[in-house]
Amino acid sequence: MPDVSVASSTIAAGVLLGGMLGLIALGLSIILGVMRLVNLAHGEFLLVGAYCGLFFVQISGADPLLALPVVAIFVAALSLPLYRLLLQPLANRGAEAQMMTMFAVSIILQNAFVLGFSADTRSIPANYAALPLTLGRVTVPLMYVIGFVISVAAVVAVHWLVSRTGFGRDLRASAADPSAATTLGVDVRRVQMLTFALGAACAGVGGVLIGAAFQFGPSSGASYLLDSLAIVVLGGLGNVLGTLVGGIVLGVLQSLGGLTLGDGYRDLVGMALFLAVLAFRPDGFLGRGRA
């Protein structure tokens, strides 16, 4: 049995990592809630953010955290032509057509990463990434704490955007009933386009944080996509703060699973929880989303 300090450090690390996973899943959740689209390229958007953060540091020599707004804007801008050229023409052909289109984008991006960056794993250099932070018996990487704080701030900002602004009102109306929203004068296509960009930006920011905390490669996006799907189910579709809670729950359970069963079983624990919640409480722990 692990001692108290190891167990408490593992739980704390799971909470902090879960905050970052919650930010990543938030992008998938809002796209799914508004567009009814499971963005199968969501993990690759995360990797775009990670690679952009890496090159920002290599070119400028600056702290990777300074890259966050730049990466958010870049990934959001990259997503706009994808929506206009690939998704918008398929808007009236069912969710399956859009989903398979994003699956094709995922495959293309994976191959582009291999061609452009090779299959080697990389990480975003940060002097403080490996530094430990100790509070009593709890020791966690400093990068986890930084990533958690930034992720929570970003989730709260998105919650404010969705619940307190005119765009958020239009977003909620489009998610609830697109036809009625159109009748009331909401430009649903514009809302969907901006929502897609917002979701991509969340993934890109999460990619920088994950890239500074862990190694990543061209095929790393798939595992984060699966984690995001599990978190969306845990927190409730479209529930912004619920996504954060779901991320923390998944992060803790994965960390405990890695501690008790071995690190290779982390994903197994997350997927088992995902299937259990999907079977017995498909609306998530916090119910169907209300931002």
260 Cβ contact list (under 8 Å, min separation 6): 2
Give the three-class secondary structure for 29.
helix
The full DSSP string for 69-112 is HHHHHHHHHHHHHHIIIIIGGGTTS-HHHHHHHHHHHHHHHHHH
Cα-based angle 101, 104, 108 (whole degrees, multiple of 5):
140
pLDDT recorded at residue 200: 96
* The pLDDT value given to residue 269: 75
Collect the ranges in the chain with pLDDT lower than 70. Answer: 1-2, 282-291
Q: Please tell me the predicted confidence (pLDDT) of residue 276.
A: 78
pLDDT recorded at residue 289: 44
Residue 105 pLDDT: 95
- Tell which residue, 166, 243, 174, has the closest CA to residue 202: 243
Ordered by start, the domain boundaries in the chain are 4-280
pLDDT (0 to 100) of residue 291? 45
Residue 14 φ then ψ, to 5°: -65, -40
Looking at residue 90, its pLDDT comes to 87
Domain 4-280 architecture? Orthogonal Bundle (1.10)
